[in-house]
Amino acid sequence: MLFSHSSAALYKPREASSPRRRSQSGDPRRRPRDRSKLLHRSHDMAEAASAAATATAEQANGSNGGEQKTRHSEVGHKSLLKSDDLYQYILETSVYPREHECMKELREVTANHPWNLMTTSADEGQFLNLLLKLIGAKKTMEIGVYTGYSLLATALAIPDDGTILAMDINRENYELGLPSIEKAGVAHKIDFREGPALPVLDQLVEEEGNHGSFDFVFVDADKDNYLNYHERLMKLVKVGGLVGYDNTLWNGSVVLPADAPMRKYIRYYRDFVLELNKALAADHRVEICQLPVGDGITLCRRVK
């Protein structure tokens, strides 16, 4: 998930600042940053708030760095479509009329949260809901929850005895959306764990009974840990099961020159996203499909 969805806001030149250093970790395969005190939605919150405020101001003033004027400023706007009007058409024609009333309620509640641009877009939520129904998913996992819009989309899609292991380091955000989840009658499907995901995944991997037991996993969390998650999930997801990685186009920054001006959190995580995309493309354990839904989602079907 992204915090700002105006390309002008994301790539507007900023004052020079010292680049963040990657922290060391005990994982010998990859050294992720210490996330113990950060959200799984691990972007810089102050930077995100600044980006969101800038985007809102630019839209209100009709100033967007010389690009075409955008009239769309709804929460969860993450379309990479060149035409804002076309995205609005999709939402108004095919998404909002079919949106579950509790998902609409949760989307509107999230709109009042200061970090609301972290939420899953409505069209991506619709996509996930239909996808889960198509594959008949029953046992699922979500890494990175925020207020739970994508979590609710999943809970509404799986059967009444289905389960979702949901992990996020911030329970307060999850509880913001919990009334809508409870109203939808699906809270009993969710096992929420507050804290970093890697220790939970490691514990699951240690028990062979968990191997190949998950039908679907949605990852929308700290980009610098995506490859760590992937290695563990390849043991936990069944052959034929799916893993969905969000933000794999990273607001289009994946095709920008390395020295292009961009928000510092976009620049920092861009390298991790590029590394993930390259690794997934070369991973023969999965079949992949990268889609320009929301901010880009890559589906991985485990084949061995």
Q: Is residue 235 part of a domain?
A: yes
* Rounded CA separation 56/44 (Å): 18
Residue 58, CA atoms < 13 Å, CB-side half-sphere: 24
- The total domain count for the chain is 1
The single-letter DSSP state of residue 95 is I
Query: Is a pLDDT exceeding 80 seen at residue 74?
Result: no
**pLDDT band at residue 80 using 50, 70 and 90 as cut-offs:** confident
Provide the whole-model pTM: 0.79
Residue 25 has pLDDT above 60, yes or no: no
- Does residue 12 lie in a domain region? no
151 lies in a domain?
yes
User: Distance between CA atoms of 251 and 270, rounded to whole angstroms?
Assistant: 9
- CATH number at 42 reads 3.40.50.150
Task: Tell me whether residue 8 is in a domain.
Answer: no
Mean of the per-residue pLDDT values of the chain = 82
30 has pLDDT over 70 = no
pLDDT digits (tens, 9 = 90+) for 175-202: 999 999 999 999 999 999 999 999 999 9
Q: Which residue has the higher pLDDT, 2 or 245?
A: 245
Q: Which residue has the tokens 């989840």?
A: 181
H-helix or E-strand containing 299? strand 297-302
The domain in which residue 146 lies consists of: 32-302
Contact call for residues 217 and 187 (beta carbons, < 8 A): no
pLDDT exceeds cutoff 80 at 10: no
Question: Is 60 exceeded by the pLDDT of residue 151?
Answer: yes
Other Cβ atoms within 10 Å of 192 Cβ, number: 19
Q: Is residue 24 in some structural domain?
A: no
> Would residue 10 count as lying in a domain?
no
Residue 7 lies in a domain: no
243-282 b/e with 16+ CB inside 10 Å = b?
Answer: bbbbbbbbbbbeebeeeeebbbbbbbbbebbbebbeebee
pLDDT at 32: 45
Is residue 22 over pLDDT 90? no
pLDDT at 28 over 80: no
Q: What mean pLDDT comes out for the span 226-255?
A: 98
Q: Which of 69-78, 115-124, 237-246 has the lowest mean pLDDT?
A: 69-78
Query: Which residue did the predictor score with more confidence, 46 or 170?
Result: 170
What gap in Å lies between CA 228 and CA 245, rounded to an integer?
12
**120 pLDDT above the threshold of 70:** yes
The H or E element containing residue 208 is: none
As a whole-number percent, the residues of the chain with pLDDT over 70 amount to 74
Specify the pLDDT at position 77: 57
Is 180 inside a domain boundary? yes
Specify the pLDDT at position 81: 78
SS3 143: strand
